[in-house]
Amino acid sequence: MILDSLLIFAVTLGAGMAVKLIPTIKSSQLKILLVFSGAYLFSITFVHLLPAIFNSSATYINGGILVLAGFFLQMILEYFTSGVEHGHMHEHDHHKEHGGFRTGSLLVALGIHAFMEGSILAYPVDIHDHDSTPLLLGILLHKIPAAVALMSFLICSEKPSRHAWLFLILFSLATPLGYLLSDYIYQTGILTERVFMGIMGMVSGAFLYISTIILFESSPGHTQNLRKLSIILLGVFAAIMIEFLV
């Protein structure tokens, strides 16, 4: 658990630092990873998370309602994040749109999303059915473009460098904190398994929203090309193989 948390923090922080240290990074350079991560996240939701939700009796309400709630909660959060959590880049000529309130609301919305996705890693093996490594990998793949997009936004907003680094560190900490705190809550019995399953359902809906947005945004005019289709199929294949072989 500690090692997983440190890995998430290091990967997220490293991806954000790359934007600052390698300013030539463009959104086109992340497109392959973004498409792969979207396909992987979409697939792991179907083969890992949704079966756990619909096979469990530990829910207060219908699992489908929880997934729908998470889907539309993520839609609301995106109003404040402008798509940073699914790798939407911000160009420098838009910096005047980003005020202090805008930056603050973005970080709060991103923090909620990151904290929730970290919390589902805390579920014990009997809920996940088996190893949670496939889910951890999906979150890592998801954090890289998100951290790059966040740092892009912070650079465009012309915040002092110390603010950008502070915001990046806070964002990098959100998912590990969600993981560690949720594990503590579960182990101490403060919250029940039903509450955790509710969170899992909502995160599943959020993942479905994010992954479908990634796949559609990467297809201008909803047209496919062989290269992108190959990346999508590779992401799907990787999710299935890791899920059933790990």
Who contacts 29 (Cβ-Cβ below 8 Å, separation ≥6)? none
- On whether residue 34 sits in a domain, the answer given is no
- On whether residue 22 sits in a domain, the answer given is no
- On whether residue 60 sits in a domain, the answer given is yes
pLDDT of 160 over the 70 cut: no
Which whole number is the average pLDDT over 83-94?
Answer: 57
- On whether residue 192 sits in a domain, the answer given is yes
- On whether residue 9 sits in a domain, the answer given is yes
Residue range 175-215, pLDDT digits in tens: 999 899 888 887 887 777 777 888 888 999 999 999 998 88
Q: What is the mean pLDDT of the chain?
A: 80
Give residue 127's pLDDT. Answer: 53
pLDDT of 93 over the 50 cut: no
Neighbours of 51 (CB within 10 A): 13
Q: Say how many residues make up the chain.
A: 246
- Helices and strands, counts by H and E, the chain: 10, 0
User: Could you identify the residue written with the tokens 């202090």?
Assistant: 100
Give residue 60's pLDDT. Answer: 60
Q: What is the 8-class DSSP label of residue 133?
A: H
How far apart are alpha carbons 204 and 69 in whole angstroms?
Answer: 10
In order of 183, 199, 200, 236, the CA distances from 193 in angstroms are 11, 10, 10, 29
More confident residue, 109 or 92: 109
Q: Return the closest-CA partner of residue 235 out of 31, 55, 25, 27.
A: 31
Give residue 20's pLDDT. Answer: 73
Who contacts 65 (Cβ-Cβ below 8 Å, separation ≥6)? 201
Which whole number is the average pLDDT over 52-66?
Answer: 76
Structurally, the chain folds into a number of domains equal to 1
pLDDT of 227 over the 70 cut: yes
How far apart are alpha carbons 109 and 159 in whole angstroms?
Answer: 19
Which residue type, as a one-letter code, is found at position 142?
A: H
- On whether residue 28 sits in a domain, the answer given is no
Give residue 8's pLDDT. Answer: 93
Give residue 98's pLDDT. Answer: 45
Give residue 89's pLDDT. Answer: 56
**Cβ pair 131, 211 in contact under 8 A:** no
Which whole number is the average pLDDT over 164-185?
Answer: 89
Neighbours of 2 (CB within 10 A): 9
Residue range 1-33, pLDDT digits in tens: 788 899 999 999 998 888 877 766 555 667 888
Percent of the chain with pLDDT over 90: 24
User: Domain range holding 212?
Assistant: 2-17+43-245
**Cβ pair 130, 55 in contact under 8 A:** no
- On whether residue 38 sits in a domain, the answer given is no
pLDDT of 95 over the 60 cut: no
